[in-house]
Structure 1
Amino acid sequence: MLNRTNDWIDRDNPPPEFRPGPVVSMAEVLAVLAFIRRHLRTISLTCFATLGLAALYLITAVPTFTAKALLILNSKATLGDAAAVSTIVESQIGIIKSESIASAVIEKLDLAQDPEFATGRGRGMIHRLLGWSKPETEASAARYALEPFERKLSVKRVGPTYLVEITFDSRDPDRAAQILNAVAEKYITHQMDKASLQDQKWVKDRLNELSNQALAAQKALEDYRKEPADSAATIDELAAAAVSSKSAYDNFRHVLRKTEATQQQSSPVFDASLVTAASPPLRASSPRPKIVLGIAIVGGLLLGVAIAVLRDLLDRDVRDRDIRASELEYRLSTEDGRIERALPDAIRPDHQSEASAKAKSVRLTGSG
């Protein structure tokens, strides 16, 4: 006996895969085409208006150029899981975006006097004229430049790697590359200075001081021994001073090495290097004409359709009010029984319900 696959199918309630999809009737298609024909002028004018606004924006907008650079963070320590690596890399990103790096770059390139970074100085000038703030200094000018600088600087990690991408936006492509390379240079220098305590100024001064004291004590001992009449007590005193000075110098060096070893064991140390230096971008990153014009076209079409739908709704409401007023007038004239008239032309078969059956002329005879 052959089994039919369609024996078990319920014809009244078939499975989803056997159900027909939604069908668009010809009447609906014709209605849409009629709607477009009626309001083609409105939709076209709205689209041209949005295109004009977009073109005006492209003409007046100041182009922005984005320079890019790539850093790599080489860890000297053995790291644990991926979460620990991510935390450490994110901390280095925070250092790159820190106020100390930004302030150093602003000072080095004198960005406080650049009009692009002095956006907040106008408000400060008004406050000074009104007596609400102190006169501007170089430090306050640098503070005003910090906000736009931090807004234009962007730093992000490239996937699950040690690579960090840095970008900077500016009106001048050469200026964008110059600032970005200065940021990378300051960060690398900051990491190198932090890697060794012996490179810090106060440590160098202390080492030089202890070294000079040890050399002076040793030289005093040697000079005294050359004299013909020397005293054993004096020699012992000078020798003790020389040993003490040398011991102080050695102990300080030992403490420095121990402190650096402890720091390297407690937290990983990164050697940052520049993989790709920033170069002046060839094209502006914003505004993008294709995207702006595309948005203007789509927005103009949608706005034009919305206006057309609104006009249809308003026209329909006006027609409905006219029909209701005409029906009311007709009923009043019918009840009076003394007027002979026909229904107005406003009541058409495609805009009435029950009143459409009475669209013919009706002759009434008064009782009087």
Structure 2
Amino acid sequence: MLAFIRRHVPIISLTGFAVLGVATLYLFTAVPTFTAKALLIVNSKGSLGDAAAVSTVVESQIGIMKSESIASAVIEKLGLAQDPEFATGQGSGMISRLLGWSKPETEASAARYAVERFERKLSAKRVGPTYLVEITFDSRDPDRAAQILNAVAEKYVTRQMDKAGLQDEKWVKDRLIELSTQALAAQKALEDYSKNRKEPADSAATIDKLAAAAESSKNAYDNFRRVLRKTEATQQQSSPVFEASIVAGASPPLRASSPKPRNVLGIAIGGGLLLGIAIAMLRDLLDRGIRASGLEHRLSTEKGRIERPLPDAVRPDHQSEASAKATSVRLTGSG
């Protein structure tokens, strides 16, 4: 291995420096992205019971935070439809229009494009088995990222105060339909397999798996419906079910979340060395193939020379006959 590395030090070094140069150029030209973070808490005033119900509540609230209605409200409030970071008219959008891949931009389509980019930059996740939800937003401007994220949190809290319920949310309705479809499909798969099975010994494990999947889907659907019923009952008592609040507002991030110079340079160095070794190995294989083909050509040439028929005058059998005739001398007496 050491001998191989010594032989190919120039190739490995040149490849490594080339990849490192490309990575350095990327770091100089890439637009940094800043990620702002905020923390919200969703308190439930109803007795929700098991962990599955609590998880359903938190997932529902995350769906509301990332809903199109929240995004549209923030975009309209901050005027993001005219922001170059969210508006079309640059880069791929302009190219698509020139090639005829997209329709001419209108005010409504510009708002739709802004909503799509806004939703890609916004993310939310639950913090462990709690009611805490961490929301993040990516932007080229750290101050802008914090401003947008705080607007999202404020709009969400205000909306939950105005509409203390989940039944009118499109995400919840879609989730209910999805869970119902999954439960019916799992039950149908179990029934179909039970009717059409041929080998009882091999099908017992499959039936157990299908039965477990059907039971799990049914429990998820029932838990979701139970949460909705409790929500409706609480609404009828004029008592809000959810009370959301901001635990920690977003502040302008001090450092860019991407690209990360250490990670980029580390990957470039490791990848460049591995690529250089791969190129060196490929070169060795090619050289061996060339040398092997040359040696085979020389051997075939020499073999052809050896197997070429000799003239009759110099054949070994004729030479032996001639020498025998020349040496057949009769010896007599002593002198």
Q: TM-score range by the shorter chain?
A: 0.5 to 0.7
**Count of residues paired in the alignment:** 248
8 Å Cα contact 2:88/2:94 also seen in 1: no
Query: What's the offset of the Cα at 1:335?
Result: 3.0
Counterparts of 2:277 and 2:5 in 1: how far apart (Å)? 9
Specify the alignment match of 2:106 in structure 1.
136
The separation in 1 between residues aligned to 2:250 and 2:99, in whole angstroms, is 41
C-alpha distance in 2 between matches for 1:66 and 1:42: 40
Q: Deviations over 1:190-237 (max 9, x none)?
A: 0011139xxxxxxxxxxxxxxxxxxxxxxxxxxxxxxxxxxxxxxxxx
- Equivalent residue in structure 2 for 1:287, among 223, 244, 259: 259
Q: CA separation in 1, counterparts of 2:96 and 2:266?
A: 41
Residue 334 of structure 1: aligned partner: 306
Q: TM-score, structure 1 length as denominator? A: 0.62
User: Which has the higher mean CA deviation after the structures are superposed, 290-299 or 265-274?
Assistant: 265-274
Q: Given that residues 119 and 148 in structure 1 are in contact (C-alpha distance below 8 angstroms), is that contact kept between their aligned partners in structure 2? A: no
Q: Which has more radius of gyration?
A: 1
SS state at 2:125 partner: strand
Distance 1:313 1:129 in 2: 46
Q: What CA distance in whole angstroms lies between the structure 1 residues aligned with 2:296 and 2:308?
A: 18
Percent of pairs identical after alignment?
Answer: 72
2-structure distance, mates of 1:326, 1:307:
29
Deviation at 1:184, TM superposition (A): 0.2
- The residue number in structure 2 matching 1:108 is 77
**Which residue number corresponds to residue 48 of structure 2?**
79
* Change beyond 3 A, Cα 1:262–1:51: closer
Structure 2-normalised TM-score? 0.68
The corresponding residue for 2:38 is: 69
User: Which amino acid counterpart does residue 293 of structure 2 have in structure 1?
Assistant: R
CA contact (8 A) 1:72 1:272 kept: yes
Alpha-carbon distance in structure 2 between the residues aligned to 1:304 and 1:267? 68
- Pick aligned residue for 2:296 from 314, 324, 327: 324
- 2:26 is the alignment partner of 1:57: yes
| CA–CA distance in structure 1, aligned partners of residues 98 and 305 of structure 2 | 80
Aligned ranges for residues 88-127 of structure 1 at < 5 Å?
88-119=57-88, 123=93, 127=97
Cα distance 1:274–1:323, how it changes in 2: closer, same or farther (>3 A)?
same
Partner amino acid, structure 2, of 1:302: L
CA shift for structure 1 position 333: 2.3
**Alpha-carbon distance between aligned partners in 2 of 1:312 and 1:177, rounded to the nearest angstrom:** 55
Aligned counterparts of 1:128 and 1:56: Cα–Cα separation in 2: 30
Which residue of structure 2 aligns with residue 271 of structure 1? 243
Q: Which moved more, 1:107-116 or 1:35-44?
A: 35-44
1:77/1:268 contact within 8 Å kept: no
Contact 2:164 2:240 in 1 (8 A): no
- The secondary structure found in structure 2 opposite 1:280 is coil
For residues 136-183 of structure 1, the C-alpha deviation after alignment (integer angstroms, 9 at most, x for no partner) is: 22x332222001100000000000000000000000000000000000
Distance 1:267 1:43, change over 3 A: farther
Cα distance change on mapping 1:144 and 1:309 into 2, 3 Å:
same
Question: Do 2:66 and 2:122's aligned partners in 1 also have CA atoms closer than 8 Å?
Answer: yes
What is the deviation of 1:262? 4.8
Letter of the structure 2 residue corresponding to residue 289 of structure 1: P
Which one scores higher on RCO, CA 8 angstroms, separation ≥ 6?
A: 2
SS of equivalent residue, structure 1 residue 195: coil
Query: Do the aligned residues in 2 keep the contact of 1:128 with 1:134 (CA within 8 Å)?
Result: no
Counterparts of 1:261 and 1:326, CA distance in 2: 94
- State the 1:126 CA deviation: 6.9
CA-to-aligned-CA distance 1:50-72 (integer Å, 9 cap, x gap): 00000010000000000000001
Secondary structure in 1 matching 2:155:
helix
**Partner SS for 2:138:** strand
Aligned in 2, Cα 1:274/1:310: closer, same or farther, shift over 3 Å? same
Per the TM alignment, residue 334 of structure 1 is displaced from its structure 2 partner at its CA by 2.4
The residue aligned with 2:129 is: 160
Relative to structure 1, is the Cα distance of residues 321 and 45 closer, same or farther in structure 2, using a 3 angstrom cutoff? same
Contact 1:128/1:135 (8 A) holds in 2: no
Gaps of 5+ in 2: 166-230, 320-335
Q: CA 1:302–1:265 in 2, change beyond 3 Å: closer, same or farther?
A: farther
